[in-house]
Structure 1
Amino acid sequence: MTFTEYLTRNYDNLLELGLEHLNLVLISMGIALVVGLPLGIVAHRNKLLRNPILSTAGFFLTLPSLALFAIFIPVFGIGAPPAVAALSLYALLPIVSNTATGLASVSPAVVKASQGMGMTGYQRLLRVELPLAWPVILTGIRVSTQVVVGIAAIAALVGGPGLGTEIFRGLRSQGNASAPNLVYGGTLGVIVLALLLDAAFVLIRRLTISRGIR
């Protein structure tokens, strides 16, 4: 069976696995954003905590992916939960780092002007600093998403959902004529999903960032 025939016959299955993969990525990124953005703000405002926060986030990114997945198996068991936990940690560093860097790039003169207008620290953060830092922050989120899309394929080894299931099914079927198609099909699905998400970020950038600060 040719690869084209394989895609035609297994389109529905690949689409289902692709949606599972996307769901895994979105949940992991959602958790990473909830944790990473506040940590980035703290890292920017507290110079003593900046290096420890960035070092900790960077430490998770240096761990072998399979080892990090395995660490969470005793806690969450097999399936999506350990995959989500590990992927959320992998996504932290670009988000935390770019949030701190983006906030640091905001002109002190602009911050002082907002203080002169009577804004509280919370108001300055939401209305002035974060909007001006958003292009840099969004880049960090974009990078994290691409990292998570790729690593999420390995989650199949701990029972996680997604396109990695098809890839490892092919690897376990070495010697079978259909094995390469399974590997190529899952890999192609990951690539297509990564490109679609990247295109979504291009659109988000255009919609959320004014031309003056792009």
Structure 2
Amino acid sequence: MNLWNYIDGRVGFLSFLTYQHASLAFQTVLVGTVVALIVAVLVYRLPLGSALTLTTSRVALTIPSLALLALLIVPFGLGVVPSFIMLAFFAALPVIGNAIVGLRSVPPSVIESARGIGLSRWKTLVSVELPIAWPVILTGIRVSTQMIVGVAAIVAYVLGPGLGSLIFNGLSRLGGANALEMALTGTILIVLIALVFDALLALLGRVTISKGLS
């Protein structure tokens, strides 16, 4: 009951924080996805380049997000900029791996057929290879989105936007009035954002993935 009373009395404030969190996650995943696709397109035809990129992206995922965030404070200060850069960096990593794997898994016979009917290398990539690789790429985007929605909470440490401030303020005041409600509310809203994003991406997959590939 206390949790409901806390939420009911702060709907506008909580809605604003939820919007900030969802917007930050969406924008960073979008930027990370674009960067990841560019990198994947540049290296997937190069065995050594794609292997090094895959290994690097997997190793980079082990970098502690708080450590990277702290390093970014030095050149960029506090606030949105270091938060955005850190999240976009981590958002790109799962997508890079899946994009390279997806593009390399396109059967060579399909590519040869496309080139045989007169398609250029670029048109073959856009109209044949990327659509075939899209289910694998989308899986990477879904993984990235779920990860970023959760990781975005820690940007509160550098005064970044979103629901993290609610969680950390609550945890720092445990035992005080509404402290537990603050932390629980922030956590629940982050989970809801993740579920909504995943549902939207699943719907995107149903709309964009050919039935023959699903």
TM bin (shorter chain): over 0.9
The residue that corresponds to 1:189 in the other structure is 189
- Contact 1:61 1:89 (C-alpha < 8 Å) held by counterparts: no
- Contact 1:57 1:89 (C-alpha < 8 Å) held by counterparts: no
Structure 2, gaps ≥5 residues long:
none
The residue that corresponds to 1:85 in the other structure is 85
Q: CA deviation at 1:163?
A: 0.5
Q: Distance in 1 between matches of 2:7 and 2:14?
A: 8
Q: Distance in 1 between matches of 2:132 and 2:113?
A: 14
The residue that corresponds to 2:95 in the other structure is 95
**Paired residue secondary structure (1:211):** coil
The residue that corresponds to 1:57 in the other structure is 57
> After superposition, what is the alpha-carbon deviation per residue over 1:168-201, rounded to whole angstroms, capped at 9, x for unaligned?
1101212203100000000001000000000001
Supply the AA of the counterpart residue of 1:31. Answer: V
- Contact 1:60 1:89 (C-alpha < 8 Å) held by counterparts: no
Structure 2 counterparts to residues 117-136 of structure 1, below 5 A: 117-136=117-136
How many matched pairs? 214
The residue that corresponds to 1:163 in the other structure is 163
Supply the AA of the counterpart residue of 2:66. Answer: L
Structure 1, gaps ≥5 residues long:
none
Query: TM-score if structure 2 supplies the norm length?
Result: 0.96
Q: Distance in 2 between matches of 1:88 and 1:54?
A: 17
The residue that corresponds to 1:36 in the other structure is 36
Query: TM-score if structure 1 supplies the norm length?
Result: 0.96
Supply the AA of the counterpart residue of 2:31. Answer: I
Q: Distance in 2 between matches of 1:17 and 1:210?
A: 37
The residue that corresponds to 2:111 in the other structure is 111
The residue that corresponds to 2:20 in the other structure is 20
Q: What CA RMSD, in Å, does the superposition of the two structures yield over aligned residues?
A: 1.2
Q: Distance in 1 between matches of 2:58 and 2:132?
A: 25
The residue that corresponds to 1:207 in the other structure is 207
Supply the AA of the counterpart residue of 1:86. Answer: M
> After superposition, what is the alpha-carbon deviation per residue over 1:97-149, rounded to whole angstroms, capped at 9, x for unaligned?
11011112212111110011011110100010001111111110111011000
Segments of 4+ moved more than 6 angstroms: none
Q: Distance in 2 between matches of 1:125 and 1:184?
A: 46
Supply the AA of the counterpart residue of 1:60. Answer: A
> After superposition, what is the alpha-carbon deviation per residue over 1:53-79, rounded to whole angstroms, capped at 9, x for unaligned?
223322331111111111111121100
